[in-house]
Amino acid sequence: MKAPKEALDKAIPKAYTPADVEKRIYDMWMKENCFSPRKTSTGKTFSIVMPPPNVTGNLHLGHAMVMSVQDSLIRHHRMLGDETVWVPGTDHAGIATQLVVENHLRQQGKSRKDFTREGFLVKTWEWVETYKKNITDQLKSLGASADWSRERFTFDPEFNAVVNKVFVDLYNKGLIYKDDYIVNWCSETQTVLSDLEVVATPEESKLYYIRYFVKAADKSVIVATTRPETLLGDVAVAVHPSDKRYKEFIDKTLILPIMNREIRVIADERVDMEFGTGAVKITPGHDPLDYEIGRDHNLQVISVIGKDGKMNKNAGKYAGLEVEQARKNIIEYLDNIGNLEDIEDTVSNVKRCDRTKAIVEPLVSKQWFVKATALAPEVMKAVEAGKTDFIPDRFRKEFSNWMEGMRDWCISRQLWWGHRIPAYYKGNEMIVSENHPTEEGWLQDEDVLDTWFSSALWPFVVFGWPDKTEDMKKFFPTTVLETGRDILFFWVSRMMMMSMALTGEVPFYHVYLDGLVRDEKNQKMSKSKGNGMDPAELQNAYGTDATRLMLLLGTTPGNDLVVSRQKAESYRNFVNKLWNASRFIRMQGEETMPYRELEAYLEKNYAKLNIAQKWILSRFAHVSQAVTEGYATYRMGESGTVLYEATWNEFCDWYIEISKIEVNEHTQAVLQYGMMTLLKLWHPMAPFVTEEIWATYDQEELIINSSWPTIPAKFINDEIEEDFRILIEVVRGIRNVRHERSVAPGKLIPVHFVADVKKDLLVQFEEVLKKLAKLSTMEIHKGRPIIGRKVALIVYPFEIYLPLDDMIDVEAEKARLTKWIAEKEKERRIIQSKLDNKGFIANAPDDVKAAQEKKKQEVEAVLTTMKQQLADIE
RNA sequence: GGGCGCUUAGCUCAGUUGGCUAGAGCAUCUCGUUUACACCGAGGGGGUCGGGGGUUCGAAUCCCUCAGCGCCCACCA
């Protein structure tokens, strides 16, 4: 029943071309509704909420990695038979989106100010709609098997309603409040930022030493500052209470230069005696620490810098100047009046806006806050109790540390794009309400909420919370949250806080954190560096499956991943290998059987299978277990590596090659079963190519809907695996000798085996050995054959002699044997020393001891033979 | 200033609770037009697991220490 080879040859192209199949397959999955949860037999559920990408963002490789990991988990669990759901969506990304839209407007010569708030929002929604399509299309191109019927947007109207409700609830519970506080102000975006959105970087700057005189005395204190312009807002000078230098000054009154204001010297332990002069000027209006010290000492707050980044009316004659200019003028003036003592070069931490890189000015302002300090303890309790764990575990500690030291979370933003704060004002009255008050005269708060406020609700809002929906019951808490480690604090912590506060439960049982994606030079990829590799480009060049494999294999959770075109290429090659392996199989015969029937058939006929067939089935059983285990423990990188090796180095290199030599009535069944098993095991990671190949096997269902392999226990056969390993080594050994002796590739040579045990193995495998090792004749002896000059090698328990009379170089042979013996002797010594060690005998587990014992026997047998051989040759 | 991570073959990395003669891919060298695949096949070379010390019968794996690199947090003006 040989297949019409030429026909198939034409039908199945020699190389896999991803571009031809990916879109078609994805559309088919959509059409067949493959991504919705299905009620199944296991009774288990598996749910993931997709970290919503910024709606205006472009998908980069970091996203691609996160999505690939999630998709493979989802596909795996779907195949396991769990009721599986992956909820997709996008984030309205307040500040980022607003900046993008403003940029577009700028290119058209317009600015936000040319629009009314409503007009600007209309414009923004237009942009968002086009961007959203763009990003979801990219997600789909990656193969994301998310349930698109559930797609959400963090700023859709329903979401907005929930946000309002949550805000009101938390406000009523005192967990949201409005207060004056020193906040981070970005003068470029004209909004406050949370602590997390501010990055401090060391920058060169000057340290100015300024003298403040004591009132009505001939004494003075010198303070050091990097920001002399804030002097105008000074309300005190602080020293450490135990600083002997300043003991006499405490509670004395100083005259603030320029302003000639009377300020007091106070003592506070937060002052660092080592820094500068040990005396620090206190400006509660423009420094977080000063603000706290000021608060504790009941000091006044004087703001001298306005939200526009200019000196304000409190700055006297400097009012209206840019900060930089004011600084210059002030220093000049202080120098003139003799109060400037010194200027020193220094490096200080400058805080900049994470997004715009503009300098962030600390200033006091009335803002809305979430009382994170009250929410954090519940989260920490849950984490300590192990309700949520972290993969890898080290992030648990990092998370807890951060939670512990957290300050309240500033949630108001002076932006237009975002959930507007549901607070309303009339005169001095304020109400917080889900809906706009019906009476006349109430004006809504102008500010919007930090984007992360709504993202924090994502894991339950997408399931219909606050309603008690079926979905909530079934899918919440979600099984695992996977995301980049860079948003552990931004997002993960806030979801935890909100979830504990609102639902009383953790939002997810596992948090899986990815590392960062880096380029070949080990640099973090980013748009600003211009080294970002575009996933779409890689997908086009090498295929989506190859791109995914690159991101999934050889990685460990939490560790950064270096990507390169070279890597993508090698996975493209692998995908092609898979394709061709199947191509070969399909060229052998057109008949196929449903997977399960095939499995049952092989089980029934197991006894009649040959050794190679039993071997590969056993290997599949073990590999399948290892792959499954990898998924279960969130070590998919390992699953992939194991599979890769099994596919290429075992199935393709050995089994397929042997199947060409040793054909029996079960060959087709084993080949097809093996191939289909591989396809199933690969499907979660390489969905497109596996679905495409699967289709050639004429199965009753799509691979995406098929079940995860559970190889019959009957197929496990450790003894056969061991025997087969020996046969592989025999072949390798002979090939090695041939190569070393430059035996012409096609030349057949005779071989003699000495086999005192396991002779059957050689007999059974004779045909295959002859073909694989290019042997003319094969004789199997007991005891030692006498066949003249020969090359000897030993693959325990066999001795192998190749009578290459015309090619034997006696000296070379002696050298080879001597070297080999030396190596074996060394090995024997190591083993012997272990066995002689009474500690080893007493403490090592039995299987370790038995293995050493066995190895010793083997080594000794080998040594005896080789020494004989060496003597012979001489 | 605190906290964390990394250092294994030329490059990129695996290595689960200590039990190997330390693995893979890419690169490199030799050979090969065997009808699945040159996006291939066969064979080889290459590592005292960053240095030092310790625990142990046994350490790439656990502890201490030093060095280099990287990340996170923080109110040194």
State whether residue A427 is helix, strand or coil.
coil
How many angstroms separate the CA atoms of A393 and A129, rounded?
Answer: 39
Banded pLDDT at A3 (limits 50, 70, 90):
very low
Report pLDDT digits (tens) over A66-87.
Answer: 999 999 999 999 999 999 999 9
The tens digit of pLDDT for each residue in A450-461 reads 999 999 999 999
pLDDT for res A839: 82
Say if residues A737 and A793 touch (Cβ distance below 8 Å).
yes
- For strand B, the positions having any atom within 7 A of a protein Cβ are 3-6, 11-16, 19, 21, 24-26, 30-44, 56-58, 71-77
Using the Cα atoms of residue A706, residue A707, residue A709 and residue A712 in order, give the sign of their dihedral.
Answer: negative
Higher local confidence (pLDDT), A595 or A809: A595
Nucleotide nearest to A742 (CA to C1'): B31
Q: What is the pLDDT of residues A112-136, one digit of tens each?
A: 888 899 999 998 999 899 889 999 9
Nearest nucleotide (CA of A347 to C1'): B76
Q: How far is the CA of A715 from the C1' of B42 (A)?
A: 30
What is the predicted ipTM?
0.93
> Residue A504's pLDDT is what?
93
What is the CA A703 to C1' B7 distance in angstroms?
43
Between CA A12 and C1' B8 the distance (Å) reads 43
Q: Which residue has the higher pLDDT, A508 or A740?
A: A508
Residue A400 has pLDDT above 90, yes or no: no
Nucleotide nearest to A657 (CA to C1'): B36
Calculate the angstrom distance between C1' of B65 and CA of A125: 59
What's the Å distance between residue A830 CA and nucleotide B47 C1'? 20
Measured CA to CA, the distance from residue A692 to residue A197 in angstroms comes to: 45
Collect all residues with Cβ–Cβ distance below 8 Å to A514 and sequence separation of at least 6.
A62, A65, A66, A69, A482, A483, A484, A485, A557, A558
What contacts A439, CB < 8 A, 6 or more positions away?
Answer: none
- Specify whether the CB–CB gap between A64 and A535 falls below 8 A: yes
In single-letter form, the type of residue at position A181 comes to Y
CB A205 within 8 A of CB A348: yes
Q: Where is mean pLDDT largest: A98-107, A428-437, A820-829?
A: A428-437
Q: What is the mean pLDDT of residues A193-218?
A: 87
pLDDT of residue A4: 42
Minimum-distance residue to B19 (CA–C1'): A848
Residue A543's nearest CA partner among A142, A13, A64 is: A142
pLDDT of residue A530 exceeding 60, the answer is: no
Calculate the angstrom distance between C1' of B1 and CA of A349: 13
Beta strands in A788-859 (DSSP E): 791-795, 798-802
* pLDDT per position as a tens digit, A230-248: 999 999 999 998 888 888 8
| Strand spans (E) along A744-864 | 749-755, 775-781, 791-795, 798-802
- What pLDDT score does A575 carry? 94
DSSP A52: P
Is the model's pLDDT at A7 over the cut of 60? no
From the C1' of B30, which residue's alpha carbon is nearest?
Answer: A739
Cα separation, A468 vs A349, whole angstroms: 49
pLDDT-derived band of residue A609, with 50, 70 and 90 as boundaries? very high
- pLDDT of A1: 31
pLDDT digits 0-9 by tens, A688-709: 999 999 999 988 899 999 999 9
pLDDT at A711 over 80: yes
Backbone angles phi, psi at A506, to 5 degrees: -70, 150
- Mean pLDDT throughout A91-97? 89
For residue A644, which nucleotide's C1' is closest to its Cα?
B24
Q: Cis bond leading into A797, ω under 30°?
A: yes
Q: How many CB atoms lie within 10 A of CB A262?
A: 10
| Amino acid at residue number A163 | V
Position A521 scores a pLDDT of 58
Cα–Cα distance measured from residue A63 to residue A633, given in angstroms and rounded to the nearest whole number = 22
DSSP letter, residue A534 = P
Of A675, A703, A709, A696, whose CA–CA distance to A577 is shortest?
Answer: A675
The rounded distance, in Å, linking the Cα atoms of A823 and A830 is 11
Q: What is the pLDDT of residue A820?
A: 79
Lowest average pLDDT, out of A143-147, A559-563, A779-783, goes to A559-563
C1' nearest to CA of A238: which nucleotide? B77
- Residue A502 in contact with residue A494, Cβ under 8 Å? no
Query: Using N-to-C axis directions, what is the helix angle for A535-542 and A565-588, rounded to 10°?
Result: 30
* Nearest residue by alpha-carbon distance to C1' of B41: A653
For residue A274, give both structure tokens.
């080592």
Mean pLDDT of chain A: 88
CB A574 within 8 A of CB A549: yes
Helix or strand holding residue A379 (H, E): helix A372-384
Coil/strand/helix, residue A282: strand
If you average pLDDT over residues A566-575, what whole number do you get? 91
**What's the pLDDT at A151?**
95
Cβ-proximal residues to A282 (8 Å cutoff; 6+ apart), any chain: A234, A235, A236, A237, A238, A266, A290, A293, A294, A299
Please report, as a single letter, which amino acid is at residue A708.
W
Rg (CA), chain A: 37
For CA atoms A286, A289, A294, A295, the dihedral sign is positive
Q: Closest residue to B38 by CA to C1' distance?
A: A573
Using C1' positions and the CA of A583, the closest nucleotide is B36
Find the mean pLDDT for residues A835-841.
Answer: 82
State the pLDDT at residue A647.
Answer: 93
